Amino acid sequence: MSTTQKVALVTGITGQDGSYLAELLLEKGYQVHGVKRRASSFNTQRIDHIYQDQHETNVNFTLHYGDLTDSTNIIRIIQEVQPDEIYNLGAMSHVKVSFDSPEYVANVDGIGTLRILEAVRILKLEKKTRIYQASTSELYGGLAENKNAAGFYDENSPFYPRSPYGVAKIYGFWITKNYREAYNIYACNGILFNHESPRRGETFVTRKITMATAAIALGKQDCLYLGNLNSQRDWGHAKDYVEAMWRILQQDVAEDYVIATGVTTYIRDFVRFSFAEAGIELAFEGENENETAKIVACNNPEYQLEIGKVVVRVDPQYYRPTEVDLLIGDPSKSKKLGWEPQYDLAGLVKEMVASDLEILKRNR
């Protein structure tokens, strides 16, 4: 290892963002350490390719067993690794599930952040370790009156979280800011709006839709059941967003940044775009629980689909006790980072649908 080689520690490395960030940091010449949870079945699918590549040379990529609910392993790993940068991406990240496990989410997503900050404070490493905290647009809660004059959420917009996930993450946000101010620790919040990819977990709405598009096109699924089609999200690509995380930690002064596209889209329209990507045109009718979408045209001769068949229905079991109706972020400040996303929504949908079609065809 060269003496100038930077060392990064990534919690949540087995997740969507962790896997893209690990690739980016390795490309940039970092030594990357990741924290993975012990599980009874494999949980490293998103990073196996990195592990295998690195196995040949076996120098720059190391995984450590650990959990954000356990201070002892957090302290030990940080002491062993002596990181220049820590990216705290580990979290129970599913908003709907957070209503079922609120205490666990508070422990992992809220107190887990404190454990990282406190370990860095206690250990007094020789290096001035920089910390990135994975904050979220869920902090805003989607209240219309809290948008800025231009109609966006920005770094100064008030927070009003609407789920145990959002409430836990707001603790993570403020404790990060407090450790920066109280102890002069270089710690930043990236307030990231939704970002997706072919590696997105299959129960988040975009991936659920692109997988169902592929499965319905190939005759493997009859119908896609969704919850609230009327909410709106500002969707970017995870590959672009991990680049922003890295840039946030390269600035002279530690600050918080909104990372977003500035464009918002209804869930219903994402469904439309996804099926259109496979050559299937849908028409929606009805409202709320009674809303459905049927096939009105299919211009892909590969797929044997019945025109008029209903392929999307609403199932209220996917509704949330409190919903975030609208998210749209103001990316103005992120321009200071020199950050420009490479993907737009069309490019994102195209890549996700193509990937899911390929996965399902391979497993035919």
* Active site members: 136, 138, 165
Q: Minimum Å distance from CB 211 to ligand NAP?
A: 15
- Specify the residue, 74 or 209, whose C-beta has the smaller distance to ligand F7E: 209
- Specify the residue, 180 or 200, whose C-beta has the smaller distance to ligand NAP: 200
Query: Is residue 280 near ligand NAP by the rule CB under 6 A?
Result: no
Could you give the 3-state DSSP secondary structure of residue 305? coil
- Specify the residue, 129 or 136, whose C-beta has the smaller distance to ligand F7E: 136
- What are the angstrom distances between the C-alpha of 92 and each of 69, 133, 190, 220, 265? 11, 14, 17, 30, 25
Reference 241, options 343, 352, 169, 347; nearest CA is 343
Phi, psi dihedrals of residue 159, rounded to the nearest 5°: -95, 150
- Specify the residue, 143 or 223, whose C-beta has the smaller distance to ligand NAP: 143
Number of residues located near ligand NAP, criterion CB under 6 A: 26
C-alpha 71, offset from chain centre: 24
Query: Is residue 353 near ligand NAP by the rule CB under 6 A?
Result: no
HEC letters along 125-164: CCCCCEEEEEEEHHHCCCCHHHCCCCCCECCCCCCCCCCH
Q: Closest-CB residue for ligand NAP?
A: 15
Q: Which residues bind ligand F7E (CB under 6 A)?
A: 93, 95-96, 136-138, 193-194, 203-205, 208, 226-228, 231, 233, 267, 318, 320, 323
Q: Minimum Å distance from CB 143 to ligand F7E?
A: 14
Identify what 203 binds: ligand NAP, ligand F7E, none; CB under 5 to 8 Å per kind. ligand F7E
Contacts of 299 (CB under 8 A, 6+ apart): 279, 281
Rg (CA), the chain: 21
Q: Minimum Å distance from CB 121 to ligand F7E?
A: 26
In which region does residue 263 sit, left (phi positive, over 0), alpha (psi from -120 to 50) or beta (all else)?
Answer: beta
- Specify the residue, 83 or 198, whose C-beta has the smaller distance to ligand F7E: 198
Query: Is residue 14 near ligand NAP by the rule CB under 6 A?
Result: yes
Query: Is residue 166 near ligand NAP by the rule CB under 6 A?
Result: no
- What are the angstrom distances between the C-alpha of 11 and each of 20, 103, 303? 13, 20, 42
Query: Is residue 233 near ligand NAP by the rule CB under 6 A?
Result: no
Full DSSP string of 51-91: HHHHHHH-SSEEEEE--TT-HHHHHHHHHHH--SEEEE--S
Tokens of 136: 């979220």
The residues facing 7 across adjacent strands are 31
Query: Is residue 92 near ligand NAP by the rule CB under 6 A?
Result: yes
Identify what 16 binds: ligand NAP, ligand F7E, none; CB under 5 to 8 Å per kind. ligand NAP
Identify what 15 binds: ligand F7E, ligand NAP, none; CB under 5 to 8 Å per kind. ligand NAP
Identify what 323 binds: ligand NAP, ligand F7E, none; CB under 5 to 8 Å per kind. ligand F7E
Could you give the 3-state DSSP secondary structure of residue 59? coil
Query: Is residue 102 near ligand NAP by the rule CB under 6 A?
Result: no
Q: How many CB atoms lie within 10 A of CB 198?
A: 19
Interface with ligand NAP by CB under 6 A: which residues?
11-12, 14-18, 35, 37, 39, 43, 67-69, 89-93, 108, 134, 136, 192, 194-195, 201
